[in-house]
Amino acid sequence: MKALEVTQATKRFGGLVAVNNVSLSVNQGEIFSVIGPNGAGKTTFFNLLTGIYPPDEGKILLFGKDVTGLPPDRIAKEGVGRTFQNIRLFGAMTVLENLLVGMHIHIRVPYFHALFRTPLARREERRAEEEAKRLLEYVGLSQRKDELAKNLPYGEQRKLEIARALALRPRLLLLDEPAAGMNPRETEELQAFIQRLREELGITIVLIEHDMRLVMRISDRIAVLEYGSKIAEGSPEEVRTNPRVIEAYLGKGAAGGAA
Amino acid sequence: MSTLSLLLSLAYLGLVFLAPGALSNLFGLLALGATAFLRLSPTWRTLNLALLTLAFTLGLVRSGNTLGLIGLVGILVALTTLPRIPGGIRVLLGLAILLLSVPMAGFANTFIFELGIQIGIYAAMALGLNVVVGMAGLLDLGYAAFFAVGAYTWAIFGSEQAKNFMQGNFPLPGEYMYLFMGIAIVTTALTGLLIGLPALRLRGDYLAIVTLGLGEVVRILANNLDHPINFTNGPQGITPVQRPPIEWFRELMGSLGVRLDQTTDYQLFFYLLVLLMIGLVVLANVNLANSRFGRAWVAIREDEVAARSMGIPLLPTKLLAFMTGAAFSGVMGVIFAAQRTFVSPESFTLLASITILGMVILGGMGSIPGAILGAAALTILNLDVLKTFSEFVRTSLPQIPSQVDPAKYERLVFGLILVLMMIFRPQGLIPEKRHKAEMEEA
Ligand SMILES: Nc1ncnc2c1ncn2[C@@H]1O[C@H](COP(=O)(O)OP(=O)(O)OP(=O)(O)O)[C@@H](O)[C@H]1O
Ligand SMILES: [Mg+2]
């Protein structure tokens, strides 16, 4: 069973075809990258996967289950966590509260238990808080527990967003440009961190990334989008030497040069 | 500083003995201001607050002047917001004010009870609306509709009105009011579902307009459902509505040494009932705020897309907030109907909805003490300050034409207050930490 299987997905915005007939599949446990020039449709592709937009055409299977057209909250419940290109934390909540929101679907407290704060509600809240704290430790944000998310420095906000996605206990994690704005050292840390997620938690990871060094080192396979269409797919080596990819990145006539 | 403020408080205590009334109470408010805003050590501050509580209570008992009530409200606010006052003192003084000072003042001047009950009913509703607007960020301009549904739920069956369309022994005996508080929770929550299902699919301004319209629909239904079958008795309203029998309460009070007469017994009873309800509503508010539901509401308010990507379903979560707020309002509607023994559509106009919203905004969105303070401030303003002021104008300045009667400018004054708020303190009088953070961001 594939972690993700997309067949001929298309999304149009008016006349613009943001995602054009894209098919691809991701194996379980894989680290898979989606790359492409600005405006190629990468983020829109993620938005199709997470249900923010239903695809106009095509089909999306998650771990063998057809989720085409389901709303984002249902897809999240299927075990898909994500981060956003332009960080979307709950800024006025604390770091810990952000994680607790991420754990929403795993905190099993019925409404009336919450209303009266019954022993069950207390127990579940305490358990959730413990788990959130463990997660903060895992990503190295323990010191920041009670700070407002918006007051964190940029790099830690990125980390927190990943942690919030992890709080969902995802099987599939979608990261939209996680290394954006990071210096080479931070990027290296990030690479190690993502690899740890796969090794230790067994999560399948799809990432969008512009940093080619990171992409080439970390990915098992890569898909390349241009103008909404998939123009190449394969191992880092195959993609690096693919003439169409070189052309897409460096312009016509550059094929055959260095990538 | 410490001696100055202590002198002020003592001077006020003296004034209360010599010349109780509006002027001495104004002086008392000044002394309270000094206590709250001067830099004092916690001990001095606590001492001052205790002195002032005593003085305001005496002032109320001796003169019945309602400025004293404002003073007591002010002390309650100080007790909830000022830092470094011992917790035990806070609770003790607060309870003394609510359970001793106000009832004693009420015996001296029953209007104090009336004010206290109205403040309480509106405070509980403001707390309900606080869930909807403050936590979930859903701008509801038709909130009074739920109050109406709650009030009519009891009014129809707690009076002869129900005979018009069904068989049975109506009015139901007064004890049924307690049962109907539960029933009203269900009917108003269902009304919330009915209004929310179409309305909550919309966002922002659209939601505001649609709730405004649907709120008016409820009022107009109440106004017109006197034919073909008479459900609501139309614009005349329904009266008399049964009140619960309170023999047990009279006996209980008697055994505590409190002798009640015919006018004050129900007043005291409803005052205490309303206090109890506020206690429960505050508890529910706090519990929800610290649960996955409260967090989901705030998350949706902050960023719908991110919230949904965390597995929070949009419509059900919003509906839950809407129905919770509606139920709070519905229970208070039942008490409102019973306390006044009269219900008519006039109590549930758009202005009522906007007033409750104003209370939430004035106090500070999302803030629990804020909602209560907002309710106290606007209720006292509407029922007392403006009326007193117009009386003053009418008697001392008869040359001023009656068109400029201040009581007629309720909405103007109200609007002015909100505008000033938006300019000088947009986060509200007692801001909640999250909204404060959001404001700073903007
Ligand atoms: N909601 C929308 N409405 C209209 N057009 C949109 C919308 N979202 C994206 N687009 C357009 O779709 C195209 C693809 O955008 P998308 O954000 O998916 O690109 P991207 O590959 O993520 O680019 P970048 O590398 O800059 O993030 C762009 O031309 C963009 O303007
Ligand atoms: Mg993008």
Q: Percent of chain B at pLDDT above 90?
A: 64
Q: Evaluate if residue B31 carries a pLDDT over 50.
A: yes
Residue B90 to chain A, least CA–CA distance (Å): 24
| pLDDT value, residue A257 | 42
Q: Is B121 exposed, middle or buried (0-12, 13-18, 19+ CB in 10 A)?
A: buried
Strands A172-176 and A80-82, bridge-based pairing = parallel
Q: Which long-range contacts (CB under 8 A, 24 or more apart) does B285-290 make?
A: B285/B127, B285/B130, B285/B131, B285/B368, B286/B368, B287/A114, B287/A115, B287/A116, B287/A117, B287/A121, B288/A114, B288/A115, B288/B131, B288/B135, B288/B324, B289/B135, B290/A117, B290/A125
Cβ <8 Å between A88 and B437: no
Kindly list the distances between the CA atom of residue B200 and the CA atoms of B64, B137, B383, in Å, as whole numbers in the listed order: 47, 11, 34
Peptide bond into B406 cis (omega under 30): no
Q: Which of A209-213, B20-24, B149-153, B362-366 has the lowest mean pLDDT?
A: B20-24
Q: Is the CB of A86 under 6 A from ligand 1?
A: no
| pLDDT value, residue B441 | 64
Q: Evaluate if residue B442 carries a pLDDT over 70.
A: no
Q: pLDDT class for A252, splitting at 50, 70, 90?
A: low
**Gyration radius of chain A over CA positions:** 19
Q: Which domains does chain B have, with CATH numbers?
A: 112-370 (1.10.3470)
Q: Is the CB of A40 under 6 A from ligand 1?
A: yes
Q: Is the CB of A47 under 6 A from ligand 1?
A: no
Amino acid at B258: V
| pLDDT value, residue B421 | 87
Q: pLDDT class for A255, splitting at 50, 70, 90?
A: very low
Helix, strand, coil % (nearest 5) of chain A? 45, 25, 35
Q: Evaluate if residue B207 carries a pLDDT over 60.
A: yes
Amino acid at A214: L
Helix (H, G, I), strand (E, B) or coil at B417: helix
Q: Which of A78-82, A226-230, A247-251, B321-325 has the lowest mean pLDDT?
A: A247-251
User: What count of Cα atoms within 13 Å lies in the side-chain half-sphere of residue B148?
Assistant: 27
Q: Which of A10, A11, A13 to mutate to test the pocket of ligand 1 (most atoms within 8 A of CB)?
A: A13
* Average pLDDT, integer, range B222-243: 92
Which tokens is B118 given? 């109205």
| pLDDT value, residue A247 | 87
Q: pLDDT class for A225, splitting at 50, 70, 90?
A: very high
Q: Is B18 exposed, middle or buried (0-12, 13-18, 19+ CB in 10 A)?
A: exposed
| pLDDT value, residue A253 | 54
- Residue that wins the pLDDT comparison between B301 and A248: B301
Amino acid at B431: P
CA angle A131/A132/A133 to nearest 5° reads: 90
Which residue minimizes the CA distance to atom 7 of ligand 1?
A13
* Average pLDDT, integer, range B237-256: 92
Helix, strand, coil % (nearest 5) of chain B? 75, 0, 20
C-beta of residue B300 within 8 angstroms of C-beta of residue B307 = yes
**Least CB-CB distance to A92: which of B302, B307, B311?**
B302
User: What count of Cα atoms within 13 Å lies in the side-chain half-sphere of residue A36?
Assistant: 24
Backbone angles phi, psi at A141, to 5 degrees: -120, 15
Chain B partners of A107 at a C-beta cutoff of 8 Å?
292
Cα A250 from Cα A172, distance rounded (Å): 32
Cα B13 from Cα B25, distance rounded (Å): 10
CA angle B343/B285/A71 to nearest 5° reads: 100
Cα A44 from Cα A53, distance rounded (Å): 8
Cβ <8 Å between B291 and A90: no
C-beta of residue B90 within 8 angstroms of C-beta of residue B64 = no
Kindly list the distances between the CA atom of residue B414 and the CA atoms of B86, B266, B419, in Å, as whole numbers in the listed order: 36, 31, 9
Of the listed ligands, the closest to the CA of A19 is: 1
Q: Evaluate if residue A74 carries a pLDDT over 60.
A: yes
- The secondary structure element, H or E, covering residue A248 is helix A243-250
- Residue that wins the pLDDT comparison between B396 and B250: B250
Which residue minimizes the CA distance to atom 12 of ligand 1?
A18
Of A128, A28, A116, A38, residue with least CA distance to A79: A28
- Please spell the DSSP secondary structure of B194-253, one letter per residue: HHHHHHTTS-HHHHHHHHHHHHHHHHHHHHHTTSSS-SS-GGG-B-PPP----HHHHHHH
Backbone angles phi, psi at B212, to 5 degrees: -60, -50
Cα B379 from Cα B150, distance rounded (Å): 20
pLDDT digits (tens, 9 = 90+) for A16-30: 999 999 999 999 999
Of A60, A32, A50, residue with least CA distance to A233: A32
Q: Is the CB of A44 under 6 A from ligand 1?
A: yes
Cβ <8 Å between B302 and A90: yes
* Average pLDDT, integer, range B374-403: 82
